[in-house]
Amino acid sequence: MSISYYILKKNNDTTIKESLIYYTQLGINLLWSIIFFLLKWRFIAIIWIIILDILVIIMIKLFFKKQKVAAYLNILYLIWILFATYLTIGIYILN
């Protein structure tokens, strides 16, 4: 994530939109860990991580318009959080 954002920043390709979506998804990612692990609010964590999924997809689309490499670097991140979404839903169902 950070490397892709750095690529955009280095080339002066960022606007307020890319910066806002990047830092928003970063904050939501941080808060998901607190919601899921510390507070143990499993249903809220599902909603929260789905919001994160959507934000990362939007971020990848925005990055793709500016620098394709920056977008491609986030594909593995998207796969990882989709897997985390699957696990979050699974844990909610099993508990």
Q: Residue 56 is which amino acid?
A: V
pLDDT of residue 13: 86
- pLDDT tens track for 45-69: 999 999 999 999 999 999 999 999 9
> Three-state DSSP class for 13?
coil
Average pLDDT over residues 24-41: 97
In 6-70 the beta strands, taken as DSSP E runs, fall at none
Rounded to the nearest 10 degrees, the angle between the axes of helix 42-66 and helix 16-33 is 150
Query: What is the C-alpha separation between 4 and 26, in angstroms, rounded?
Result: 13
Q: Residue 52 is which amino acid?
A: L
